[in-house]
């Protein structure tokens, strides 16, 4: 196959195999992601037949992770992260510590050294973002208390893995691997170099978090509003993707954090805009498509022969991922005095490994710390744990029911105080966000009630109008429009009343009416003075925005033109009638 069509072939074959095998998995009452994983195995380099480009597939899969984390960030906020820190931070760090220690012990059992054990344990300690988010979406739990705690837990794990990825190269020489040339080889300076590396990493992550929390919410919604005012749907979608991918790539290149973490904070920043729901809807199809490629790429990395070569080690790795880590997570949640149900939900949801595990394993192999067999075991553990995760989730739900049935008092009372406190905090945050959205919807509703003509355009166009309008006010007696001036825009009266001072009489216009459209439609000058007779609030649609919006909505332009023509004919008829009366 020609090299120039490698990308097309990888995407096309990946989607075709995933669609067919995903459908077959669904017919067999298995989760579709099992079919996606099998599709990856079938087009990978370890099975006969067509072999897709693994490097391209992994990059496309990274796109899926970025878009998925961006979508989660759109429904999250910095307030949510701060609210769940009491359980997410100690929970994630505690589980990483204990799971890594168990992984080191397993590595010693396999005959490896400390460096291999450290990489092996870290790789088995962090959950898969994609799998958890898919599970939360399927169960409609993304906005639940347990779901938000689980997402916060994942974010802390991701931050910890960023530090691990940065510190492994300078520590490789001490751990028995290849010494990193950039870190220096002098024994006396190793400690200083490691300390500087750690300090620089923390400084970069802190700077990134500071920009995301304090600067991003001011800049990104403003940019999104500017783009929305253009009225171009494709430009809006393009801008949403540009912000998501741009922040993800920039955060990785400049601050050293992962693409997924950068994309998550891009979504958090954009969630401050009232256009976030539109951004989420526009990015959802791409999220679904590229997240499928994540599972396909995982399958492509898997060497099925490891199941035959070392089945006992595979079972031990799988037991660590599903059983040991779940017990650790459950125990930590209980020690922190949170409910049993939350502990079981988090334990089951995080009982798999994924993208960070592959990155750590690959880095460990390249540094000479982890043997190739270790990477194969990690991939085997990932494939099997992802495949079995739906069953683990069902088992967790069944165990919750059994505990509630056997010990109803304990299941209701244990951790209730902390859970209620966290629920109240998250409820306040959610109410605040809903109030903001409700206020926006109220503005839309008031716009339609006051100016029924706008009901004929789509909801997105109505939002665009709200962005295009410029508020303006006038006091009684103030001249709003002067005859002979060039038309600056079309005025919509939100409240109050004005008088249009014609040659022969004055015409009163009240809330719901508009004026100033004739000069814009004809390109001429203002033909009458308009004076406020009450305290007035206007929505001004400026000339440029009027022409742009009406060009995209010819039916609305025709309606405005018809009203203007009727108004002109009425004025002419009135003038002729007055002239006829004067003549008699």
Count other Cβ atoms within 10 Å, centred on residue 176. Answer: 15
**How high is the pLDDT of residue 104?**
93
Closest by CA to 369, choosing from 177, 529, 234, is 177
* CATH class of the structural domain 469-583: mainly beta
CA dihedral of 292, 296, 301, 307, whole degrees rounded to 10: 110
348: left (phi over 0), alpha (psi -120 to 50) or beta: alpha
The pTM score is: 0.71
DSSP-based three-state secondary structure for 29: coil
CA dihedral of 57, 59, 64, 65, whole degrees rounded to 10: 130
Per-residue pLDDT of the chain (584 residues; tens, 9 = 90+): 445 557 788 888 889 999 999 899 888 877 787 888 889 888 888 788 777 777 777 787 778 778 877 877 777 777 777 888 889 999 999 999 999 999 999 999 999 988 899 999 999 998 887 788 778 877 778 778 888 898 889 888 887 887 787 778 777 777 777 755 444 444 446 567 667 776 777 787 777 777 777 777 778 888 888 887 777 778 888 888 888 888 888 887 887 777 777 888 888 788 777 777 778 777 878 877 887 888 888 888 788 888 888 899 999 999 999 999 999 999 999 999 999 989 999 999 899 887 778 878 888 888 888 998 898 899 889 888 988 888 898 898 889 888 888 888 888 888 888 888 888 888 888 787 777 767 767 677 777 777 777 777 777 777 777 778 888 898 988 998 888 888 888 898 888 999 988 777 788 888 888 888 888 877 778 888 889 998 998 888 888 888 888 877 787 788 778 877 777 666 666 656 655 555 55
Q: CA torsion sign, 15 to 16 to 18 to 19?
A: positive
Count other Cβ atoms within 10 Å, centred on residue 554. Answer: 10
C-alpha pair distances (Å), 433 with each of 266, 276, 430: 17, 11, 5
Domain with CATH 2.60.120.10 in the chain: 469-583
Q: CA torsion sign, 283 to 289 to 290 to 294?
A: positive
Domain with CATH 1.20.1530.20 in the chain: 3-428
Q: What 8-state DSSP symbol labels residue 256?
A: -
In angstroms, the CA 473 to CA 495 distance is 9
Starting at the earlier edge strand, list the strands of the sheet with 479-481. Answer: 479-481, 529-532, 497-501, 506-510
Q: 3-428 is classed in which CATH architecture?
A: Up-down Bundle (1.20)
């Amino acid at each position: 196959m020609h090299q120039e069509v490698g990308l097309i072939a990888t995407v096309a074959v990946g989607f075709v195999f995933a669609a067919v095998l995903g459908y077959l998995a669904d017919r067999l009452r298995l989760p579709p992601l099992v079919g996606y994983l099998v599709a990856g195995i079938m087009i990978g380099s370890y099975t006969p037949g067509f072999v897709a480009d693994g490097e391209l597939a992994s990059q496309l899969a990274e796109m899926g992770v970025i878009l998925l984390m961006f979508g989660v960030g759109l429904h999250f906020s910095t307030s949510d992260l701060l609210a769940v820190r009491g359980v997410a931070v100690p929970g994630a760090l505690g589980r990483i510590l204990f799971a890594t220690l168990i992984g080191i012990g397993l590595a010693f059992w396999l005959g490896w050294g400390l460096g291999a054990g450290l990489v092996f344990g870290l790789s088995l300690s962090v959950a898969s973002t994609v799998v958890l988010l898919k599970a939360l979406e399927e169960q409609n739990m993304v906005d639940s208390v347990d779901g938000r705690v689980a997402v916060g837990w994942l974010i802390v794990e991701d931050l910890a893995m960023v530090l691990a990825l940065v510190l492994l190269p300078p520590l490789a020489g001490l751990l028995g691997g290849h010494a990193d040339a950039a870190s220096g080889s002098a024994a006396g300076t190793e400690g200083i170099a490691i300390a500087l590396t750690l300090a620089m990493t923390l400084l970069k992550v802190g700077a990134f978090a500071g920009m995301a929390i304090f600067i991003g919410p001011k800049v990104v919604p403003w940019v999104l509003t500017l783009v929305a005012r253009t009225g171009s749907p494709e430009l809006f979608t393009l801008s949403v993707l540009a912000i998501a991918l741009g922040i993800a790539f920039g955060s990785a290149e400049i601050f050293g954090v992962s693409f997924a973490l950068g994309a998550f904070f891009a979504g958090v920043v954009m969630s401050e805009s009232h256009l976030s729901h539109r951004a989420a809807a526009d990015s959802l199809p791409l999220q679904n498509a590229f997240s499928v490629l994540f599972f396909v790429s995982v399958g492509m990395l898997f060497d099925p022969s490891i199941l035959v070569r070392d089945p006992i080690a595979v079972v031990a790795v799988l037991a660590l991922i599903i059983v040991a880590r779940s017990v650790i997570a459950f125990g930590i949640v209980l020690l922190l005095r949170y409910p049993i149900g939350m502990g079981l939900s988090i334990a089951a949801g995080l009982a798999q490994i994924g993208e960070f595990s592959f990155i750590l394993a690959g880095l460990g192999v390249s540094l000479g710390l982890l043997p190739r067999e270790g990477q194969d075991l990690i991939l085997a553990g990932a494939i099997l744990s992802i495949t079995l995760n739906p069953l683990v989730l069902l088992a967790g739900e069944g165990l919750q029911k059994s505990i509630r049935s056997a010990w109803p008092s304990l299941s209701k009372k244990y951790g209730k105080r902390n859970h209620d406190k966290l629920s109240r905090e998250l409820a306040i945050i959610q109410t605040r966000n809903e109030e903001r959205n409700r206020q926006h919807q109220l503005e839309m509703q008031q716009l339609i009630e006051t100016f029924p003509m706008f009901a004929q355009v789509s909801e997105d166009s109505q939002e665009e109008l709200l962005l295009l309008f410029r508020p303006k006010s006038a006091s009684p007696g103030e001249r709003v429009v002067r005859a002979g001036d060039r038309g600056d825009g079309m005025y919509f009266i939100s409240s109050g009343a004005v008088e249009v001072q014609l040659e022969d009489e004055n015409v009163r216009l009240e809330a719901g009416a508009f004026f100033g459209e004739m000069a814009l439609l004809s390109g001429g000058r203002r033909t009458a003075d308009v004076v406020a007779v009450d305290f007035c609030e206007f929505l001004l649609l400026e000339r440029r925005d009027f022409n742009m919006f009406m060009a995209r909505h010819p039916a609305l332009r025709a309606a405005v033109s018809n009203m203007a023509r009727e108004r002109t004919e009425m004025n002419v008829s009135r003038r002729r009638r007055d002239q006829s009366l004067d003549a008699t």
